[in-house]
């Protein structure tokens, strides 16, 4: 049978509300791409992100436009030139990797020459809120090894100190989502260092982060919105100590592999992150995250329901995907 491509949209309710400095949401809107050939199907999932000008409609339209190329048998290498980085290419790229694994009987991990993937410690996200509410969330999850705490207001000192007091033994990452004003940046970095925070993610807006090149870094500063693909890396070396790789930014596993190698060559620490999506979106990233410094793949833990089958999570560990899910 000839190759076919199917697009499915879905909405997965979030357990409660997920809040960052740019707003709140109560569901994860996702798009799945299914590529089928000779009765075998490969799956990929993406999460369109408005911050990058994406909507469910625009991403679905991008995938639909690529359908003739995919159905004609486009290679993974040619796909990188045919589609731009972003959520649409991620869904197609990961579906083609999954299809290759299922057709060949060889896992994606084995194809990439990885040793047997192992469980990884993932961060768990604490949403932005008033200090006492965030402290309550942190206290409820204080037994987790790593917390990712959403900040991004003009006065986050009370939030940082409240969370640290509520979870004294957890490692902590702060994610400002471009929300810290320049006027309070150095103060917040000092407070973060005093609180034993391991890393601060994207404190200033992308494209307006020159200040990071001229101030002290009392702890690691990580680029997220400022970095999308390997071509962005060289220009960030004077401002950031780490980068956040997300498949929805890179446009899939293929470019993410290139980006990871280049980031390591340039001396960046690496976080492997995610949008709020299901286990299908996390699965390729678990393979990519096997030897990085920070893993943030908690998307399914934030949902009221996940895909079946999903990834296995035990406490702060996320396990490699089974073949029935992906790869």
State how far Cα 61 lies from the chain centre: 23
Place of tokens 């299922």: 102
From 148, 246, 249, 260, active-site residue: 246
Cis peptide before 112 (omega within 30 of 0): no
Q: Report the distance separating Cα 170 and Cα 122, nearest Å.
A: 12
Count Cβ atoms within 10 A of the Cβ of residue 35 and give its class: 0-12 exposed, 13-18 middle, 19 or more buried: buried
Q: Edge to edge, what strands does the sheet with 294-295 contain?
A: 124-126, 146-150, 171-175, 199-201, 220-223, 242-245, 269-272, 294-295
- Token reading at 274: 């995610």
Rounded-to-integer distance, Cα 169 and Cα 127, Å: 19
What sign results for the dihedral spanned by CA atoms 275, 4, 101, 83?
A: negative
How far does CA 297 lie from the centroid of its chain? 7
Residue 160 CA to chain centroid, in angstroms? 22
Active site residue 150: yes
Q: What angle do CA 14, 285, 322 make, to 5 degrees?
A: 85
d(CA 294, CA 313) in angstroms, rounded, equals: 17
Q: Which of 25, 67, 148, 150 is catalytic?
A: 150
For residue 299, give both structure tokens: 């998307």
Secondary structure of residue 244 in the 3-state scheme? strand
Judge whether 260 counts as a catalytic residue: no
Q: Name the maximum alpha-carbon separation found in the chain.
A: 62
| Neighbouring C-beta atoms of residue 321, cutoff 10 Å | 26
Q: Write out the catalytic residue numbers.
A: 150, 246
């Amino acid at each position: 049978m000839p190759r076919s491509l199917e697009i499915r949209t879905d909405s997965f309710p979030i357990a409660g509300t997920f809040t960052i400095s740019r707003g709140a949401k109560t569901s994860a809107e996702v798009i799945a791409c299914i590529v089928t050939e000779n009765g075998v199907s490969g799956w990929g999932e993406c999460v369109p992100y408005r911050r990058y000008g994406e909507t469910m409609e625009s991403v679905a339209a991008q995938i639909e436009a690529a359908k003739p190329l995919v159905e004609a048998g486009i290679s993974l290498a040619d796909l990188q030139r045919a589609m731009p980085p972003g959520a649409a290419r991620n869904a197609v790229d990961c579906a083609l990797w999954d299809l290759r694994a299922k057709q060949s009987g060889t896992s994606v991990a084995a194809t990439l020459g990885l040793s047997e993937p192992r469980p990884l410690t993932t961060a768990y996200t604490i949403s932005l809120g008033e200090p006492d509410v965030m402290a309550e969330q942190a206290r409820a999850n204080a037994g987790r090894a790593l917390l990712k705490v959403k900040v991004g207001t003009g006065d986050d000192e009370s939030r940082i100190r409240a969370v640290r007091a509520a979870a004294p033994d957890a490692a902590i990452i702060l994610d400002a989502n471009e929300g810290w004003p320049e006027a309070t940046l150095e103060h917040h970095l000092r407070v973060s260092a005093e609180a034993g925070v391991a890393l601060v993610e994207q404190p200033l807006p992308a494209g307006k982060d020159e200040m990071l090149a001229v101030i002290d870094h009392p702890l690691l500063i990580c680029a997220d919105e400022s970095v999308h693909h390997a071509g962005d890396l060289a220009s960030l070396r004077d401002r950031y100590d780490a980068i956040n790789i997300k498949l929805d930014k890179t446009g899939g596993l293929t470019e993410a592999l290139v980006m990871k190698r280049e980031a390591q060559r340039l001396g960046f620490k690496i976080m492997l992150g995610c949008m709020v999506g299901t286990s299908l979106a996390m699965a390729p990233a678990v393979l990519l995250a096997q030897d990085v410094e920070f893993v943030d793949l908690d998307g399914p833990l934030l949902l009221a329901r996940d895909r079946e089958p999903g990834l296995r999570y035990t406490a702060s560990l996320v396990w490699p995907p089974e073949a029935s899910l992906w790869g």
